[in-house]
Structures are given as structure tokens and as C-alpha cells.
A and B are shown apart, each in its own frame.
Chain A
């Protein structure tokens, strides 16, 4: 079985401050890991993904995430928050189960950016 835990359902940061959204995963096989973003009234958009190449993954809009196997973590960071980053962020784990890639999502973290 696989699962994802996102610590903090709501995170507030000041504009220009560091963004850190936490994600820990559980998987019995080597996983693929994803971060998706959901802007209000829009669909889920892929931010970045880890597929066993480089452990530090860079995504769109200045976001990056580091895969740490020893900590089973895949935290999302951005050095300087922008107002447009306000959205809900979902971490997801994908691994082969029953002959296909089963994708499991966390419960999401809403990011608020304070001017």
C-alpha cells in the first residue's frame, strides 16, 4: 500500500519569504513522486515530478523539490513567494500495483501569501 501525508492543511507566508510545503510518503516499492497545484476554479496542474533521476527536481514557477529516501520526504520549496503562488498544492505518489501505476494523493495544503 502507498500513502502520502502532507503536514499542514494551511500555510501562510509573507510575500518574498521562503515557501516550504511538506510531504512524506509511504511506498513498498520505489515510487514516483509528483506535486500538483490547483488554482481556484481550475484543474490540477503538474508542478514537478521525481522519476528516479536527479533527487533535486526543478519545476515550473520557480518551485523545486528534493527527494530524500532516508526521510521518505519530498518537500516542495520556493525561495521567494509571490502573490500568484496562492493556491492549493497536492503531493502524490505513484508506484506499480496490480500491473499499473496507482496514483495516491495527499489531502492538500492551501498556501496563503500575505502582502
Chain B
């Protein structure tokens, strides 16, 4: 597609439910990032994929969070047993090359509210 597409844009879920957030990167981009942004904060790194390989997951806050990119394109960030503290904007970004100064392009994000 023309840009990074994320869905859903807005998600309200009850505490304890699982949620899955989807990211469709720019076509051909090999690098994919997930970030989380709380209100009043900057984007916080969660995880990085190079093609289908999850190369860095050091930013995932705990084992309730997981991500996959099975075919090296679309990625899903899953949060199990959601808690109110998980409420935030979840941003996906992609880039065409893993080791250059090229720009990373962000999607519009998925707002998650856990009630």
C-alpha cells in the first residue's frame, strides 16, 4: 500500500480480554517496528522485525505482549489478559532497509483503551 496501515484505529476492551493489533507496512519494506506511546510521552520501542525474524523484542514490557510477522509483511501485536496500564497508542513503522539512515514511516496508530 501507499503507507503504513494499522487496524483497528480505536479499540476499547475490557480488562482481562486479549487484543490483536494489525500492521500492514509499506510494500517492500523489510524492517518493521512496534512502538507504544502513552499520553504525554514519546514513542517507546517495543520490538523490531527484519523480514519475518523478530530481531529485537527487548522493549516488550512482559510476557503478555507478543508480536509476529510470519510472512515478512503484515505484523500482529497481541496483548493477552489486558490491564488498564496497557492503555496507550500503539504505533507501527516500517523502513525499506535495516541498516541505513533511511526514514522510518509511521502508521496512524491504534488507540487501545482498557476499561
Contact = CB atoms under 8 A, between A and B. Distances in A.
A97 B32 CA distance: 15
A58 to B, nearest CB: 15
B31 A101 contact: yes
Contacts of B103: 34, 46, 49
A53 to B, nearest CB: 9
Contacts of B101: 32, 49, 51-52, 94, 101
Contacts of B93: 44, 103
B18 interface: no
Contacts of B40: 9, 107-108
A90 B43 CA distance: 9
Contact of B50 (A6, A45, A100): A100
Contacts of B31: 100-101
B29 interface: no
A51 B44 CA distance: 22
B58 to A, nearest CB: 9
Contacts of A96: 99
A103 B102 CA distance: 11
B109 interface: yes
B98 interface: yes
A106 to B, nearest CB: 5
Given A32-B101, A44-B43, A106-B42, A101 B95 contact: yes
A102 B99 contact: no
A52 B100 CA distance: 11
A100 B42 contact: no
B48 interface: yes
A98 to B, nearest CB: 6
B12 interface: no
Interface string B45-88: 10010100001100000000000000000000000000000000
Interface of B: 31, 33, 35, 40-45, 48, 50, 55-56, 91, 93, 95, 98-101, 103-109
